[in-house]
Amino acid sequence: MKKDLSINFYSIFKWVIIISFVLYAVFPFLWLILASLKTNAELLDDPFALPEVFQFKNYADAMEAAGLGQLIINSLVISTSATFLNILFSSMCAFAIARHTFWGKNVLFLMITAGILVPLNALIIPYFAIINFLNLYDTRLGLILVYCAVGLPVSTFILTEFFKSIPKEIEEASFLDGCNFVSRYFKIMLPLAIPGLATAGTFQFILCWNEFIYAMLLTSSTEIRTIQFGISYFTNQFFSDYVGMFAAVVISILPSITVFILFQERVITGLTAGSVKG
């Protein structure tokens, strides 16, 4: 009998802990959504009560007032192109490293992956100078290049490990059949590596979509600005329109949550692959 009690006690403890952490993680978001559907007066009056009428027009107002449409398009263009280029370049490099021997290969791999550990935010001033020097300040291309480079170490690491896990025999057979370097990459390796590409791509997309400091550093005009930097403007611009700000924040987080829910297995295996190395 005593044993049963202790089992019950432990399992109650377990659910209390799990539920409280889930609440801690999710409750603020639920409140955010609730608050974004109220009026400002209702919010100040009682932050938690349900609104009398759901104010869906807060979203329309926020879209219009802050030009969120343009910001979302900018973010989408920048994030998808940076992700595409990042995956293209890092998979090319990973293919060379994982499948061939050449002088300096190990040094190259170690150097690029060591980039994961560099606290890049220390380099904001040099980045600012380099982008200015390249004449890319306040251009989409500037941000695309920076995002593509910032994600390079992680993508190259994930993809190299993935390429290494693909059996060599298939590629060797195609080599004997006279398949050249480029078509081995495009026709053999890339199709086999789609799960790996999806993992690295999801990480990269979420990184680009969520990035804030370089967007603030390297752009200045509203035509170029991304949504993450855009929503922070709400704090100054409409300092009394809290519900509008909440609506804008909700809009800004939807894409990354959607991508995560769609590709969550890939994100989680990606995290595991990254942590295997230790």
Partner 1 sequence: MKLKKDEVVWLLIFISPAICLFFLFFILPILFLFVTSFTNWDGIGAEFVGLENYSKLLNKKSFIRAITNNLYWCVTAALITVPLALIVALLLAHRSRGWKVFRTVLFIPQVVSSAAIAMLWAAMFNAEYGLVNFLLEIIGFSDFEKYNWLGNVRTANAALIGFSLCYVGYFMVIMLAKTAGISDDYYDAANIDGATQFQKDVYITAPLIKSTFFLCIILAVIFNLRQFEYVYLMTAGGPANKTQVLVVYIWNELSVQRLGRGNAAGVIMICIGAALLLILRKLLKSETYN
Site for partner 1 in 95-124 (CB under 8 A): 95-97, 99-102, 108, 111-112, 115, 117-124
Residue 238 near residue 65, CB atoms below 8 Å: yes
Among residues 76, 130, 141, 166, which is the contact residue for partner 1, using CB under 8 A?
130
- Give the C-alpha separation, 213 to 228, whole Å: 9
Give 221 or 236: the residue with its C-beta nearer to partner 1.
236
Based on the shown chain and the rule CB under 8 A, indicate whether residue 260 belongs to the binding site for partner 1.
yes
- Give the C-alpha separation, 227 to 66, whole Å: 10
User: What SS3 class is residue 230?
Assistant: helix
- Minimum CB distance to partner 1, residue 58 (Å): 14
- Give the C-alpha separation, 176 to 124, whole Å: 49
Per-residue binding letters, 77-96, with partner 1 (x by CB under 8 A): -----------xxx-xx-xx
Give 70 or 269: the residue with its C-beta nearer to partner 1.
269
* Cβ-based neighbours of 24, under 8 Å, separated by 6 or more: none
Footprint of partner 1 on 157-216 (CB under 8 A): 168, 171-172, 175, 180-182, 185, 206, 209-213
Give 126 or 191: the residue with its C-beta nearer to partner 1.
126
Give 59 or 229: the residue with its C-beta nearer to partner 1.
229
- Give the C-alpha separation, 189 to 187, whole Å: 6
Footprint of partner 1 on 32-71 (CB under 8 A): 32, 35, 43-44, 46-48
In one letter, which amino acid is 142? G
How many residues touch partner 1 (CB under 8 A)? 100
Query: Diameter of the chain by CA atoms?
Result: 76
Backbone angles phi and psi of 234, in degrees to 5: -60, -35
Among residues 126, 167, 169, 191, which is the contact residue for partner 1, using CB under 8 A?
126
